[in-house]
Structure 1
């Protein structure tokens, strides 16, 4: 049973009125477990048909499923193949409702650990650009892993403050997601430890942080672009009041009506502290109305139009520098990379996104797709490349079954036996890429990245 602070309960009773008892009862029930399918690698329909878990569709998302606690999807080879992201169902909603289009330049400003970024990247379908940022360097490392596991190559992963990022990307992005730091009241049932850190003044403290972040995000959005603001808290101080304050100071922005879905509630204008803006265009998710936790979501449009100025990437690296990679590419890849976008940075080879500004001075964890490392007289392909590749893009494949002992041995970093020619092999599970191995005699030397291995 959740033990909640008395001051929190009193405030929720005032907010919810007749719905308060239903809300409290919902928090005492078992939480809901969810996963979201990676449509870069598998369609929702195919996953539903071949899923090894007890799954049920999340009705307010296009690719989300509930699973049973005993399924433990993080301990299945499909997780290591990046076929899904384990995510609380209500947290799937912001990226679900954001109207991302192919070719967009998208920023996820507060992105770690990557639940929403991975869906934004999947929606881009390998086009445009995804910049995933988190100010915390340690959290950004987890973000990077999830971006690479999902096979998102058209990306930059950064660890910067919104203020510094804004100096590089003025009027640059088509879409910006601000999943703002918040008091986390909507996740009390999912993670009771959050209750311990909640204080009566938490809402005002986060209100100040959120108000500081949004103007920097606004400066990075093109005229005509869209910004989606979300939190996982119930407090109006962190939701309607933040949006009201922002709109009051930015008359070049307007609220956009978000669609109704299964048992969604609307934002509340009378909670905003003023009547100038219609907060019912925003939505709220409540745990007593949906099978999930809690979220607030508001979509903002920046008025005006932007003249697009496209600048293709022009590599500064001469092809001779990566000639060992060229030999690897000819031997193994069926789809060669565009030479103008291949860049060597400190002996590492990247496939850079098109149309990016100068990034000198930014804290960057990953620039584009990390293809591999140039070592003395040889090239070593990366785990990120393996996750990005489709099996038909590589000439030598070692196929493993998700039910075999060999796939677990491979994921643990062990050597396995395999047929085929010597050299590099892309290891797959049920036809989905896992990682690399290098065959000598009948044995495949394991190249699955150490930090990703089955524990």
Structure 2
């Protein structure tokens, strides 16, 4: 049962549209959320995933604003986060409403924004962790272009990277800043920006009944100043003609509509509010007079959410002079011979073709694959991590890295059954029934998707899963 205080209820009553009732708001806020997931199309199509999981007792209901999002019901009680399919990145457990902002950013339903999947586009996710929207954006970009994923909290950057790697994202560069610096450091750099702003979290009460037990409007007022500073920074970092999506899981006007109007007050006709009325069927039920989506829990039986799309029409004045270039970048481009040897190793060992326009960089004995559009940005700000680590150089040859296997497609894999896949993810070696000629390094897979690398010794597969990914418990369907 959700715990409301009277101040919160009074605030909701002021902002709730006249055609919606407080009784319905309270009733839906006390209902448990429907379980929802998003299929990771970087690894598997939604149709193939549905075919795979229907056999395991899953039932799917499509989420109207995300073509790869589904409400799911299961035949048995099972921890989805411990399933093989989740650990190998075939799906992300994501609340349905949180799938709205990336959909709005790319106008997926109308196809207006599919140009954003080009090889040159640069997208910024200003507040990324844990990575649900970041990995959704990467899938919509088809791993093309560059996705800069920023997270202010140091403890959450590690979680963000783990999810990016698990989902096979290859076009991402991670940063760790207060996002207010982007307007200064990356002035008019990005084609598209998502600002899922820190907020009071009023819309999350169905997930956490105690979320609003001590709600105080004065706390929200402090958050609003941060939100205004962040949206100003985002607008400065946006290219002319680019699109910015501002979203929160708050319900009040002051954290939502008022923040967007603040931006228009500052920059006038440079700011266009883009209507989201036709973003998906029945979107108009949630639309404000400006065309923003203000999703109340009772509208779609979901969490509360707010989404606004803003387009930048003309350039605006830079607030500060361009910062000095960052020095001491530790990577250098790999030599042509090194790239050729590395490409040969991936081709011969795993049937993986490195991208023809691959930007292979080297640091000490490490080889990395950088998204090409990141190169002009080197020196403008400090990156925590760029692209994916391909391999380490050995005295003779190379040693492939786990994240490269998850992100780069290979048609040749050693397929495991349920029990073998479980054992592999628990760090165990896999015994083979027949002794055959050793094959060296092989990619092991489940449901025709990679799990990692093992060394084929003839009578067993020696487990090479990174120790930090080894699980104590794996959930199998009965």
The answer, yes or no, to whether TM exceeds 0.5 is yes
* Contact map agreement 1:157 1:364 (CA 8 A) in 2: yes
Q: CA RMSD of the aligned region, Å?
A: 2.4
Q: Partner residue of 1:372?
A: 391
Distance 1:40 1:189, change over 3 A: same
- The corresponding residue for 1:24 is 26
Q: Structure 1 residues 367, 5: closer, same or farther in 2, change over 3 A?
A: same
Alignment of structure 1 residues 294-309 onto 2, 5 Å:
294-304=304-314
Quick check: 1:136–1:159 contact (8 Å CA) kept in 2? yes
What residue is the counterpart of 2:323 in the other structure? none
1:316-355 equivalences in 2 (<5 Å): 316-319=333-336, 325=342, 328-332=345-349, 333-338=351-356, 341-355=359-373
Q: 2:416 aligns with which of 372, 382, 400?
A: 400
Mean Cα displacement is larger for which, 167-176 or 119-128?
Answer: 167-176
Q: Equivalents in 1 of 2:382, 2:355: separation in Å?
A: 26
CA contact (8 A) 2:186 2:380 kept: no
1:398–1:31 CA distance, 2 compared to 1 (3 A)? same
**Of 113, 121, 135, the match for 1:118:** 135
How many angstroms does 1:4 deviate by? 1.2
Is the aligned partner of 1:249 residue 2:271? no
CA drift at 1:210: 0.5
Q: CA distance change for structure 1 residues 336 and 200 in 2, over 3 Å: closer, same or farther? A: closer
Judged with a 3 Å threshold, the aligned counterparts in structure 2 of structure 1 residues 45 and 339 are, in CA distance, closer, same or farther, namely: closer
Give 1:350-361 correspondences, 5 Å limit.
350-356=368-374, 357-360=376-379
Partner of 1:55: 60
In the alignment, structure 1 segments of 5+ residues that lack a partner are 269-278, 307-313
Preserved CA contact (<8 Å) 1:240 1:267: no
Tell me the equivalent position of 1:68: 73
- TM-aligned CA deviation for residue 71 of structure 1: 4.3
Q: Are the structure 2 counterparts of residues 339 and 115 from structure 1 closer, same or farther at C-alpha, using a change threshold of 3 Å? A: closer
Q: Give the direction of change, closer, same or farther, for the CA distance of 1:21–1:130 in structure 2 (3 Å limit).
A: same
Specify the SS of the correspondent of 1:386. Answer: helix
TM-score normalised to the size of structure 2?
Answer: 0.84
TM-score by length of 1: 0.88
What displacement does 1:93 show? 1.0
Residues in 2 aligned to 1:180 and 1:62: alpha-carbon distance in whole angstroms = 24
The offset of 1:172, in angstroms, is 1.4
Name the CA shift for 1:49/1:322 in 2 (closer, same or farther; >3 Å): closer
CA contact (8 A) 2:443 2:454 kept: yes
Question: Is it true that 1:284 corresponds to 2:298 in the alignment?
Answer: no
In the alignment, the residues of structure 2 paired with residue 288 and residue 178 of structure 1 have an alpha-carbon distance, to the nearest angstrom, of 25
1: CA distance, partners of 2:132 / 2:337:
39
Q: 1:425 to 1:247 in 2, by over 3 A?
A: same
| Residue of structure 2 equivalent to 1:2 | 2
> What is the CA deviation profile of residues 124-143 of structure 1, one whole-angstrom value per residue up to 9, with x for unaligned ones?
11221111111112211111
Answer yes or no: is the 8 Å Cα contact 2:343–2:354 preserved in 1.
Answer: no
Please give the residue correspondences for 1:142-221 in structure 2 after superposition, counting only pairs within 5 Å: 142-196=159-213, 198-221=215-238
Change (3 A) 1:31 1:329: closer
Is the Cα contact below 8 Å between 1:325 and 1:374 reproduced in 2?
no
Query: C-alpha distance in 1, partners of 2:15/2:157?
Result: 35
Alpha-carbon offset, residue 163 of structure 1: 3.6
Please give the per-residue CA displacement for 1:386-421, whole angstroms capped at 9, x wherever unaligned: 1112231xx5x21013xx211100011111124664
Native 8 Å contact 1:437 1:446 kept in 2: yes
Query: Are 2:457 and 1:440 aligned?
Result: yes
Unpaired segments ≥5 residues, structure 2: 107-112, 317-330, 473-478
Q: Secondary structure at the match of 1:96?
A: helix
CA distance in 1, matches of 2:296, 2:306: 9
**Deviation of the 1:361 alpha carbon:** 7.5
| CA 1:19–1:383: 2 relative to 1, 3 Å | same
| 430-439 or 162-171, larger mean C-alpha shift | 162-171
